[in-house]
Amino acid sequence: MATHLSDSERQRVAALTLALYERRVTVDAFIEELGDVADPQVAELIDLLQHDPERGGMHGVQDDEYEAYRERLTELVARLSDY
C-alpha cells in the first residue's frame, strides 16, 4: 500500500522519528504528533511502540522474540528518518 506524503509531511515524519530515536521526544508525544499521518510505515511504528513487549519473566517474551521486535523498530526508524 503506497502512500504519497507531501514534502512537509515527510520532513515532519523524518524529524520526529529521529527525535524519538535520540530520545528527545517521548513515545506519547511522537504518537500525538504523527497519529494523523496516513502512511503504513508510520502506522506500523506507532503500533510497535504502543505494544512494546515485556522482556523475560513469567509473562514476557523470549530474548529472540524481543530482539526481532527491536530489529523491526530499528529498521522502521532508519527508513522513516531517511524520508
DSSP string, 10-43: HHHHHHHHHHHHTTSS-HHHHHHHHTT---HHHH
How far apart are alpha carbons 11 and 63 in whole angstroms?
Answer: 34
Q: What is the pTM of this model?
A: 0.78
In a structure prediction context, what are the per-residue pLDDT tens digits for the chain, which is 83 residues long? Answer: 456 778 888 888 889 988 988 899 999 999 999 888 888 988 999 999 899 899 888 889 999 999 999 999 889 888 888 76
> What is the predicted pLDDT for the residue at 62?
92
